[in-house]
Amino acid sequence: MKKIFIVFLGLFALAALSAAEAQTQDSCLDCHRAIGSGPFFAPAEAMKEDVHAKFGISCADCHGGDPKDSGFTSMDRSKGFIGVPKKVNIPGLCSRCHSNTSYIRRFNPNLPTDQLAKYRTSTHGRLNEKGDDKVAVCTSCHRAHSILPPDDTRSPVNVFNVPETCGKCHADANYMAGYNIPTDQLEKYKSGVHGQMLLVKHDSGAPSCASCHGSHDAAPPKIVQIASVCGKCHAIEAELFIQSPHKAAYDAAEIPECVACHNNHRNERTSDNMLGVGGESLCINCHFSADSKGYQAAQAIGASVDELKAKMAEADLLIVRAERAGMEVGEGRFSLVDADHALVQIRAVIHSVSPDQVGKLAGDGIKLAAQANEVGKKAWAELQFRRRGLALSLVFILMVVVALFFKIRDVDRRGGG
């Protein structure tokens, strides 16, 4: 009787195990992986690291069908099988889950659920609604079967990969033919300050395409929006620009604000030579008449900056010479640091286009440079005094040595006599 019970218990456990396996089986993955290679194998293999698969979301959740049916009937239309969705339908397909707040909260309560709403406002979304089957959809940027979280460096939407992801379409002249937009944005970005910071210096805080254009709501900023877009990072400069006379003038003339001086995709490294009225000045591109207020303001701003830098250079030369000679000039060095802070402030304040504000800061910096200069002069004077004292001491010591020499020789001569 005991043996019969054990056999029965074993059969019951085996049946329970088989039932559990039936509940967890995924014929989509099993069959496609069994193929071993090729286009039908690749999606199933890619799912191994897919963020959805880690949450138990699999093929049938997107493609339909019955993953518990091991036959071809698993792909029957009566079981909701849709196969490969049309590209234009993908945003709607993904949004079935990603726009469902209560559903998404089960997996990640911090994940936004407004991606589709934003996408519909984007240039991509508007073209998608018109039936454009080339325009970017969710899978264009996130992939389809190997979707990785943005903090994974292999993800196409990782901050360091975003330029190349966008450039996959936007840098392809053949693919973009007919859209009437440039295809050199990626090339320009890579050579600009932002691109160098992100791609060469690996500064994750540097702006990428999405920083300025948006991601799901991607669109080129309008002329009157550019200062606000740049102001997300360059807040002080943007605020000063908005309050400056340039803002109204640029808007009236439909000049693209920050871009007019700094370019957009190829942000060139700024230089003080861009100020004033010299050969590299940007101001005289518009204010080219010497009699105009703009020209005179540019000239005054450039002169203030040049004077401050000249005074700082003069003081720094003295301080460095004194330091190399071993003199204590810490106070002067601190004054120079403060003067340099004034120069940094000026480089922001120039966006106000106010000669008075720039002149005041330059004046404060010049006073600090003068203090440093005075410290350097005193240190150099003290050094010269020490050197003269040392020289006199050496002469006195030499005289004493000579006197002792003759005295000793005289003593020796007398003793010998």
Q: Which two tokens stand for residue 31?
A: 């069959």
What single-letter amino acid sits at 4? I
339 in any annotated domain? yes
CA distance linking residue 302 with residue 313, whole number of Å? 16
CA distance linking residue 101 with residue 95, whole number of Å? 11
CA distance linking residue 411 with residue 417, whole number of Å? 10
Q: What local confidence, expressed as pLDDT, does residue 7 receive?
A: 34
8 A C-beta contact, residue 14 and residue 26? no
Other CB atoms within a 10 A radius of the CB of residue 345 amount to: 17
364 in any annotated domain? yes
8 A C-beta contact, residue 148 and residue 49? yes
Q: What local confidence, expressed as pLDDT, does residue 14 receive?
A: 33
376 in any annotated domain? yes
- Residue ranges of the chain whose pLDDT lies below 50: 1-24
365 in any annotated domain? yes
Q: What range defines the domain where residue 354 resides?
A: 295-389
Q: What local confidence, expressed as pLDDT, does residue 100 receive?
A: 95
248 in any annotated domain? no
8 A C-beta contact, residue 311 and residue 374? no
CA distance linking residue 412 with residue 417, whole number of Å? 9
CA distance linking residue 100 with residue 106, whole number of Å? 10
CA distance linking residue 116 with residue 39, whole number of Å? 29
152 in any annotated domain? no
What single-letter amino acid sits at 365? G
Name the 3-class secondary structure at 135. Answer: coil
Q: Measure CA of the first residue to CA of the last residue in the chain; give whole Å.
A: 142
- Give the dihedral of Cα atoms 287, 262, 171, 215; nearest 10 deg: -120
8 A C-beta contact, residue 358 and residue 318? no
Q: How far is CA 224 from CA 190, 230, 254, in A?
A: 26, 11, 8
- Please give the tally of structural domains in the chain: 1
Q: Which of 204, 159, 205, 165 is nearest to 185 (CA)?
A: 165
Q: What local confidence, expressed as pLDDT, does residue 10 receive?
A: 35
CA distance linking residue 270 with residue 274, whole number of Å? 7
Q: What local confidence, expressed as pLDDT, does residue 416 receive?
A: 62
Q: What is the CATH number of the domain that holds 347?
A: 1.20.140
Q: Which two tokens stand for residue 389?
A: 């004292």
What single-letter amino acid sits at 102? S
pTM beyond cutoff 0.75: yes
Q: Residues 96-102: contacts with CB within 8 Å, 24+ apart?
A: 97/57, 97/61
- Residues belonging to the chain: 417
